[in-house]
Homo-oligomer: A and B are copies of this chain.
Amino acid sequence: MQTLFEQEPIQQKTIRHLGDSLDAGLFLHVRQSLVLMSAEDIGHILESMPHRQRTLLWGLIPEKRQGEILNHVADEVRTIFLSQMQPSQVAAAVMGQDADDLADILGDLPNHLYHQVLASMDEQDRQRVAEVLNYPEDSAGGIMNTDTVTVRPAVEVDVVLRYLRLRGKLPRNTDLLYVVDRNDHLLGQISLAKLVTSAPMVLVADVMTEAAAIPANLPDSEVSQLFQRYDWVSAPVVNEQNQLLGRITIDDVVDVIIEDADQSLMNMAGLDEDEDIFSPAHKSAPKRAFWLGINLLTALLAASVSSYFEETFKQLATVAVLMTIVPSMGGIAGNQTQTLIVRGIALGHIGGSNARWLLGKETLVGLFNGLLWSSVIALAVFLWKGNWLLGAIIGAAMTINMLVAGVAGASIPLLLRKFGIDPAVAGGVVVTTITDVIGLFTFLGLATYFLIP
């Protein structure tokens, strides 16, 4: 009981202590510390260590614990470990694991290893995993487990209880028994809570409830929305004939939720969602280079817009000084709108029915804030440079650009989604490019027209 009270504050201390011991070569000591730790804790520690220490620590973990620990580290960390193992080691490590975890691990392997590992697995594991491998990794079938407990409708509650006692241990996170006919068609479900509170002589058919069956090909993000909306702990997965294939448990759904959230956050910053913060610099740098390259292109595009106005800069250098303000505000406003829309899409709140309303609303928001901050900047520029016309020009340009930011921020993500492009990945750069170009062009154009003789 006391473990948790003591454990939390020392978590980071433990990691530091283990890291120091690894650096000092006290391998025996580290090995002894690991014995008492759970697979979850070791996974967390591995994820929190720089590459070199991580590899050392992994080497000290007994082979028979490696498989379980593999399930508690991020995909990218796992891939590194797997690539250093022999096929037979991988097969031994993953023996007897949940089918969805097995499928995940196999999916991370390079092609030649994949077949070798599959060949070294025992028949039972191979069959279990084959069912899951039939479906894409990001579908209900890909995250399901095949370890369902099924009962028939015509038996009594008491019989079910005796059967369960004979059967012994239930699979992890079992909250529901599934009621199926002899051809595995799903008829209903009965919760353990219902089972233990029902009279012994009642028939299963009389206490079972309708099962909310998930089709195996449903995308995992929709599965996670269903779990969130209905507060499920587990749910059955069926094929098109309504035959029970397996079940999805909340812990796997939580992983999907976190992955999806991370993905939005990371992609909007131009990062690979699998990027491991502790991978060495020479591996991280190339992953981020692409996004920087795209940004360099858009920055050059913006520069090519302003290069039309070199004559203006020569005559009125103040215009050059002020030219970054309008695009910058447009970029921020566009990003706010875009983030809100991307999130609304992810939550399933946005569809044909309200998209037009949203576009109108965001345009209005852009206009309101455009007018507000345009007045402020117009006044500031007038006070700073003593030129009221220049103030009016920058104010007008800012209003226009923030209006554009509202329209682009709302419509670009929706358009991208229509074309099947992830708005979190591509939306930001498209919206920023638009606000940069329009912002520069409006401000420099107006300034040149009105101020340059």
B contact residues around A97 at 8 Å (CB) = none
Instruction: Tell me the smallest distance from the CB of A107 to a CB of chain B, in Å.
Output: 20
A281 and B8 contact, CB distance less than 8 A = no
Instruction: Tell me the smallest distance from the CB of A63 to a CB of chain B, in Å.
Output: 23
**How often does this chain occur in the complex, in copies?**
2
Q: How far is the CA of A170 from the CA of B213 in the complex (A)?
A: 23
Q: Could you tell me how many residues of chain A have their Cβ less than 8 Å away from some Cβ of chain B?
A: 141
Q: How far is the CA of A404 from the CA of B169 in the complex (A)?
A: 57
Contact among B41, B269, B280, B380 for A229, CB-based, below 8 A:
B41
Instruction: Tell me the smallest distance from the CB of A24 to a CB of chain B, in Å.
Output: 14
Instruction: Tell me the smallest distance from the CB of A164 to a CB of chain B, in Å.
Output: 5
B192 and A193 contact, CB distance less than 8 A = yes
B372 and A289 contact, CB distance less than 8 A = yes
A361 beta carbon closer than 8 Å to chain B: yes
B175 and A348 contact, CB distance less than 8 A = no
**Contact stretch, chosen from A83-91, A121-129, A258-266, A414-422:** A258-266
A277 and B372 contact, CB distance less than 8 A = no
A212 and B3 contact, CB distance less than 8 A = yes
B48 and A300 contact, CB distance less than 8 A = no
**Contact stretch, chosen from A27-35, A112-120, A130-138, A329-337:** A329-337
A159 beta carbon closer than 8 Å to chain B: no
Given the interface pairs A291-B332, A358-B277, the reply to whether A218 lies near B16 with Cβ below 8 Å is no
Contact with B along A361-381 (1 / 0, CB 8 A): 110110011001100110010
Within 8 A of B (CB), among A164-189: 164-165, 167-170, 172-175, 186
B339 and A269 contact, CB distance less than 8 A = yes
Instruction: Tell me the smallest distance from the CB of A281 to a CB of chain B, in Å.
Output: 4
Contact among B186, B277, B347 for A344, CB-based, below 8 A:
B277
Nearest B residue to A298, CB-CB: B328
B contact residues around A1 at 8 Å (CB) = 186, 210-211, 213, 238, 242
A64 beta carbon closer than 8 Å to chain B: no
A161 beta carbon closer than 8 Å to chain B: yes
A285 and B174 contact, CB distance less than 8 A = no
Q: How far is the CA of A302 from the CA of B280 in the complex (A)?
A: 33
A377 and B296 contact, CB distance less than 8 A = yes
B contact residues around A12 at 8 Å (CB) = 351-353
B contact residues around A343 at 8 Å (CB) = 262, 265-266, 277
A271 beta carbon closer than 8 Å to chain B: yes
B303 and A321 contact, CB distance less than 8 A = yes
A44 and B229 contact, CB distance less than 8 A = yes
Instruction: Tell me the smallest distance from the CB of A99 to a CB of chain B, in Å.
Output: 16
Contact among B8, B233, B277, B361 for A341, CB-based, below 8 A:
B277
Q: How far is the CA of A352 from the CA of B165 in the complex (A)?
A: 49
A15 beta carbon closer than 8 Å to chain B: yes
Contact with B along A1-28 (1 / 0, CB 8 A): 1011100100111011001000000000
B320 and A361 contact, CB distance less than 8 A = no
A161 and B196 contact, CB distance less than 8 A = yes
Nearest B residue to A311, CB-CB: B317
A349 beta carbon closer than 8 Å to chain B: yes
Within 8 A of B (CB), among A251-296: 251, 253-254, 257-258, 261-262, 264-266, 268-271, 275, 277-278, 280-282, 284-285, 288-289, 291-293, 295-296
16 additional contacts, CB 8 Å, given A292-B333, A295-B328?
A4-B215, A4-B226, A40-B231, A44-B348, A48-B350, A165-B197, A165-B198, A165-B199, A169-B193, A170-B197, A262-B343, A278-B349, A285-B369, A288-B365, A292-B332, A310-B318
Nearest 3 CB-CB pairs, A to B?
A261-B261, A12-B351, A16-B353
